[in-house]
């Protein structure tokens, strides 16, 4: 499944502690927030338009990561991605309606001098990941299907498999449910080109108001291993979004050992690093 006609956005700073671990918290000092736990911004990672420069390169893959030539600090970023319908009125976004979700790797280069978040997020084809196992959902309301899910991630080098991010409940996101969707709508309409953030309305216009978006809603905190271990050629990255009422963290870790994940109640993303 490809999303070449779909615009791609990510949410920065929606899991407490992740930005600090990634060394990115200082990037957002100039960004005003209304409450301490509020995410910092949304950022584009793919814009289906010839007008979007490097962001017009389709970066998603379900099985590979191709590192840039100069990157020695590439990390897995385990997330949930929402596949959403976008509704407009007079070229303003009025609603975001999730239709499905999937495991996602917001694989990022740590570029301390990057002026915009997006500069770390798309450096060519096969640079981010979304699972081909997509799970349908009809809303993001409290008590809905996604509330039962958890996010796990693993790193394999040689024969050694290590937990990379903390096994985390999806409801652990700082902003979730309708609060997250309403905030995204607001940012799509009103976010400005300030500091590391960009004017999102301009990207929507450049893409001629696409009807759908893939929105990754934030990376979990790393384990100590994940915080200090960067990807190398030959590694395998695994991000697993799973139903925590059906499977335990130990069940998922056992599946990771064989890189074989059940299909029921699981969206798994397994990518080999070139």
Report how far residue 176's alpha carbon sits from residue 178's, in angstroms, rounded to the nearest whole number: 7
* pLDDT category of residue 13 using cuts at 50, 70 and 90: confident
Judge whether residue 20 has pLDDT over 60.
no
Judge whether residue 213 has pLDDT over 90.
yes
pLDDT of the residue at 38: 86
What are the tens digits of pLDDT across the range 191-202?
Answer: 999 988 999 999
Report how far residue 191's alpha carbon sits from residue 59's, in angstroms, rounded to the nearest whole number: 23
Mean pLDDT of the chain: 92
Please state the pTM of the whole predicted model. 0.94
What are the tens digits of pLDDT across the range 66-83?
Answer: 998 776 789 999 999 999
Range of lowest pLDDT (27-31, 77-81, 111-115, 237-241): 27-31
Structure tokens at 239: 């991000």
What are the tens digits of pLDDT across the range 236-266?
Answer: 999 999 999 999 999 999 999 999 999 999 9
pLDDT of the residue at 115: 86
Structure tokens at 115: 């002026």
pLDDT of the residue at 18: 46
For every residue of 92-161, DSSP letters joined together read EEEEEEEEEEEEEE--EE--TT-SSGGGGT-SSSS-EEE-S--EE-S---TTSGGGGEEEEEEEEETTEE
Judge whether residue 23 has pLDDT over 90.
no
| Residues 50-63, mean pLDDT to the nearest whole number | 96
């Amino acid at each position: 499944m490809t999303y070449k006609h779909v615009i791609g956005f990510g949410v920065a700073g929606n899991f407490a502690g992740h930005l600090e671990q990634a060394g990115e918290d200082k990037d957002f000092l100039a960004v005003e927030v209304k409450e301490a736990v509020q995410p910092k911004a949304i950022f584009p990672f793919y814009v289906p338009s010839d007008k979007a420069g490097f962001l017009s390169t389709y970066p998603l893959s379900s099985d590979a990561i191709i590192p840039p030539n100069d990157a020695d600090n590439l990390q897995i970023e385990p997330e949930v991605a929402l596949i959403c319908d976008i509704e407009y009125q007079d070229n303003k976004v009025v609603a975001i309606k999730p239709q499905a979700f999937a495991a996602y790797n917001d694989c990022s280069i740590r570029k301390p001098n990057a002026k915009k978040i997006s500069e770390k997020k798309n450096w060519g084809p096969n640079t981010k990941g979304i699972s081909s196992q997509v799970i349908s959902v009809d809303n993001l309301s409290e008590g809905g299907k996604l509330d039962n899910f958890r996010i796990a991630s693993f790193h394999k080098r040689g024969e050694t498999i290590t937990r990379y991010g903390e096994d985390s409940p999806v409801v652990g996101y700082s902003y979730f449910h309708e609060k997250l969707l309403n905030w995204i709508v607001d940012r799509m309409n009103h976010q400005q080109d300030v500091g590391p953030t960009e004017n999102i309305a301009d990207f929507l216009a450049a893409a001629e108001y696409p009807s759908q978006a893939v929105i990754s809603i934030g990376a979990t905190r790393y384990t100590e291993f994940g915080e200090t271990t960067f990807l190398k050629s030959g590694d395998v990255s695994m991000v697993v979004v799973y139903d925590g009422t059906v499977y335990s963290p130990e069940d998922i870790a056992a599946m990771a050992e064989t890189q074989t994940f059940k299909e029921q109640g699981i969206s798994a993303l397994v990518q080999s690093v070139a």
